Structure 1
Amino acid sequence: MDLVVHSASLPHTDPEASLAFYRDALGFEVRSDEGDAGGRWITLGPAGGTGTSLVLEPAGARPGLTTAERRTIAEMMAKGTYAAITLATADLDALHRRLRDAGAELAWGPTDQPSGVRDCAYRDPAGNLVRITQA
Structure 2
Amino acid sequence: MNQGIGVVGLYVRDQDEALAFYVGKLGFGVHTDVGNGDYRWLTVQHPAQPSFQLGLFRPGPPVHDAATAQALQALVAKGAMPPLVLHVDDCRATYARLSAEGVEFNQEPVERYGTVDAGFRDPSGNGWKMIQAAAGKN
**Normalization by structure 2: what TM-score?**
0.82
Work out the CA distance in 2 between the residues paired with 1:81 and 1:58. Answer: 16
One-letter amino acid of the structure 1 residue matched with residue 107 of structure 2? W
Deviates more, 1:30-39 or 1:89-98: 30-39
CA distance in 1, matches of 2:21, 2:115: 24
Instruction: Look up the match of 2:121.
Output: 123
Structure 2 residue ranges without an equivalent (≥5): 134-138
Q: How far, CA to CA, are the matches of 1:2 and 1:103 in structure 2?
A: 39
C-alpha change, 1:82 and 1:21, in structure 2 (3 Å) is same
Partner in structure 2 of residue 102 of structure 1: 101
Tell me if structure 1 keeps the 8 A contact 2:77–2:126. Answer: no
Partner Cα separation in structure 1 for residue 61 and residue 74 of structure 2: 15
SS at match of 1:24: helix
Q: Is the 8 A contact 1:12 1:56 kept in 2?
A: yes
Contact 1:44 1:54 in 2 (8 A): yes
The percent identity for this pair of structures is 30
4+ residue runs over 4 A deviation: none
Report the RMSD for the aligned CA atoms in angstroms: 2.2
| Count of residue pairs the alignment pairs up | 133
Instruction: Please say if residues 88 and 132 of structure 2, whose CA atoms lie closer than 8 Å, have aligned partners that are also in contact.
Output: yes
Residue equivalent to 2:14: 14
